[in-house]
Amino acid sequence: MNPLERYEPLVDDTAAFRAACDRPLPSVVRVNTVKTDRERAVRALEQEGVTFEPVDWHDDLFRLPDRSPGTNWAYFHGWLHGQEEVSVLPGLALDPQPGERVWDACAAPGSKTTQLSAAMDDIGTVVANDNNLGRLSALRHNTERLGVTNVAVTNQDARNFSLKPFAFDAFDRALVDAPCSCEGTCRKNPDVLDEWTLHHVEQVAGIQKGILTRAVQATRPGGTVVYSTCTFAPEENEAVLDHVLEAEDCELVPFDLPLETVPGVTEWDGETYDPSVERAHRVYPHHNDTGGFFCAKLRVGGESDAEAADGETVDEEPAADEEVAA
Partner 1 sequence: MSDEPTNDGHRFDRLPATAAEREVPGRATREEVVDWWAERFGVNPSLFDGYSFWEKGAGKIWIYNGDAPDGVRIEAIGMTFLRTRQEHWKPTTRAVSRFGSHATRNLVVLDDEEARRFAAGEDQEVERWDGDWGYLIAAHEIAGETEPIGVGLYLHGELRSRVPKGSREELGSLTE
Q: Which residues bind partner 1 (CB under 8 A)?
A: 34-36, 40-41, 43-44, 47-50, 70-73, 76-78, 101, 122-126, 136, 140, 143-145, 147-155, 165-168, 316-323, 326
- For partner 1, the closer CB: 100 or 235: 100
Q: What does the DSSP 8-state code read for residue 75?
A: H
Strand residue runs (E) in 27-100: 27-31, 53-55, 58-64, 80-82
- For partner 1, the closer CB: 60 or 236: 60
Nearest-5° Cα angle at 48, 45 to 49: 85
Residues 6+ apart with CB under 8 A from 34: 114, 117, 118, 121, 122, 146, 147, 148, 324
CB of 51 to partner 1, least distance (A): 12
CB of 83 to partner 1, least distance (A): 19
Q: What is the DSSP string of 124-139?
A: SEEEEE-S-HHHHHHH
Q: Which of 21, 230, 250, 295 is catalytic?
A: 230
**Residue 26, Cβ density class (10 Å: 0-12 exposed, 13-18 middle, ≥19 buried):** middle
Strand residue runs (E) in the chain: 27-31, 53-55, 58-64, 80-82, 101-104, 125-129, 151-154, 171-177, 219-229, 250-252, 262-263, 267-268, 271-272, 281-283, 293-300
CB of 229 to partner 1, least distance (A): 25
CB of 52 to partner 1, least distance (A): 14
Is 230 marked active-site?
Answer: yes
Of 107, 99, 97, 160, the residue nearest 129 (C-alpha): 107
CB of 292 to partner 1, least distance (A): 31
CB of 319 to partner 1, least distance (A): 2
**How many angstroms separate the CA atoms of 27 and 233, rounded?**
25
- For partner 1, the closer CB: 3 or 99: 99
Of 83, 85, 84, 51, the residue nearest 67 (C-alpha): 51
Of 251, 247, 237, the residue nearest 214 (C-alpha): 247
- For partner 1, the closer CB: 87 or 117: 117
Contact by Cβ (8 Å): 288, 258:
no
> Which letter, b or e, does each residue of 298-311 get, where b requires 16 or more Cβ atoms within 10 Å of its Cβ?
bbbeeebeeebbee
- For partner 1, the closer CB: 20 or 128: 128
- For partner 1, the closer CB: 44 or 89: 44
Catalytic residue set: 230
